[in-house]
Amino acid sequence: MIKRTLRSILIAPVFFLLINSVSAYNSTSGFAVTGFLVSAADSLASQQKSITEQKPGRQSRSLPEKEPPPRYVEITRGPVVGVYKEMNPKSPVFERMARQGERFRLLYDGVSWYQIIYQDSVGWIEKRYAKIYQQTKVDSIKEKLPFIGLLTLIGGILAFVILLLFIILAGKSLVRKMKQGSSVKEQLGKSCLIVGDSAKEVSDAFTNEKKTLEKCFTETGLEVVKAHEFNVAQNILFQSVPDIMLVDWHDSPNIHQAVERVFSHQVSLAKVLVIFYNVEDPITQPKSTIIPQVHYLGAKFTDRDIFKVVTPIILAHHEATATNHSTESRAMEGAVSAGNLSELMQFIEIGAKTGCLLIEHNRRPHGMVFFENGAITFADTGSLKGKEAVLHILSLQAGRFHFILNKKPQSTNVTAPTISLLMEWAQAKDEASRD
């Protein structure tokens, strides 16, 4: 731009001298030449003006458009929804199902499917179970400052009222359960002693979520006693005998010998199930000749690995205390309520149990479901058989259940995995509530 301006300044005097020279030489023809030169100068000035006017336009180049923010998909129906590995309802699903309210990064918005990022992979979910999450802009914090004090006060009052109502309802529920005496937790009457880190995390085999070792047992109805080291546990063992004892292999260098020494001097511990965890190489550990029931787990394990060993202890009742124990005293039973049959089937599947689940409705036999190593093999309600019978039983809202161990059917009419039937029932329940 500077070069063009200097060029114009230098050319203007030259044109002026030429005009004067030509006018002095021939006044008649000079007028024509002068007009031509003046016209050329005007054209040059016009071009200079045009260049000057275009300068702001060149400097104000448009900035490249920003990439749109990522979009997310929110699960709106539930409680759980299967995420498929391909865009096909018959394709395999991920082991962990998506829960209502969860959000996932959207990759593709199709006609009937969303493609999302799921567990560091790509998954597909049907549109009827989710929607695109629209993130709204938050108002300025300065505009909200006058209301923060009022909102805090209102929130505190509401939290107090909710907490009070929760305490009242929880107290009523606890009293009602104590009167009925039908919950599985109350019927177990089992205890577990955890020696070491009770906060160790265990993976849930069904949801892949993490929970503590202590919670893993309290959820099944066991009373959990904790001892941070084995020296403390010895005093507990002299006072009471637990049904199950979990011992951290890292508690001390000679923890195995220490446990064997206590078992050899205390005969009452013969029926205690001992599980060592955090063992470096659990497969190669030799069976103890002093501890009758002992198992070894590594540093990483799931609740299913535990319940494969523990479930027989949980379900079994104290035997040899009387000679007239009926079949009912050796079974797990309780009242049917909304959703608890699905939880019971999950428990049986995780524990890989074999037996028959009997269902009563209106004090009459209503149906039966047989399990073998946790898998459903036979189901019958009289009018319904196979998978349809299982889905019907899961939908019951009242009645009683009764699980008898080690009972097998004469034939099979169900081949689908237990987890698949539970997922199909959950989806059917969701669709029914939507209609």
Q: Residue 40 CA to chain centroid, in angstroms?
A: 80
Query: For the chain, how big is the Rg over CA atoms in Å?
Result: 40
How much is the pTM?
A: 0.38
Per-residue pLDDT of the chain (435 residues; tens, 9 = 90+): 555 554 555 555 544 544 454 444 444 444 444 444 444 444 554 555 554 545 444 444 555 566 778 889 999 987 888 899 999 888 899 988 899 989 999 999 988 999 999 988 999 999 999 998 876 555 445 545 566 777 888 888 989 899 888 888 877 666 555 544 333 333 346 788 999 876 788 887 656 788 888 887 777 667 889 888 888 888 888 888 898 999 999 988 889 999 998 898 888 888 899 999 999 888 888 888 899 889 999 998 887 788 777 766 554 443 333 333 333 333 477 888 776 788 888 888 877 889 999 999 888 889 999 999 888 999 999 889 999 999 999 988 888 888 888 888 989 999 888 877 887 888 788 777 776
Structure tokens at 20: 């004067």
Q: What are the residue ranges of CATH 3.40.50.2300 in the chain?
A: 187-315
- In the DSSP assignment, the letter for residue 88 is S
Distances (CA, A) of 282 to 144, 193, 289, 340, 343: 59, 20, 17, 35, 30
- In the DSSP assignment, the letter for residue 61 is P
How far apart (Å, rounded) are the C-alpha atoms in residues 352 and 373?
4
- Return phi, psi of residue 154, to 5°: -65, -40
Cβ atoms within 10 A of the Cβ of 206, count? 19
| pLDDT given for residue 434 in this prediction | 72
How far apart (Å, rounded) are the C-alpha atoms in residues 5 and 15?
16
Cβ atoms within 10 A of the Cβ of 137, count? 5
Distances (CA, A) of 14 to 226, 342, 343: 105, 101, 101
Q: Which amino acid is at 317?
A: H
How far apart (Å, rounded) are the C-alpha atoms in residues 337 and 70?
42
CATH of region 72-133: 2.30.30.40
Q: What are the residue ranges of CATH 2.30.30.40 in the chain?
A: 72-133
Beginning with the edge strand found earlier in the chain, give each strand of the sheet holding 293-296 in spatial order. 223-227, 191-195, 244-248, 273-277, 293-296
Within 8 A by CB and 6+ apart from 70, the residues are 105, 106
CATH fit for domain 187-315, picks 3.40.640.10, 1.10.1740.10, 3.40.50.2300, 3.40.190.10? 3.40.50.2300
Q: Which amino acid is at 419?
A: I
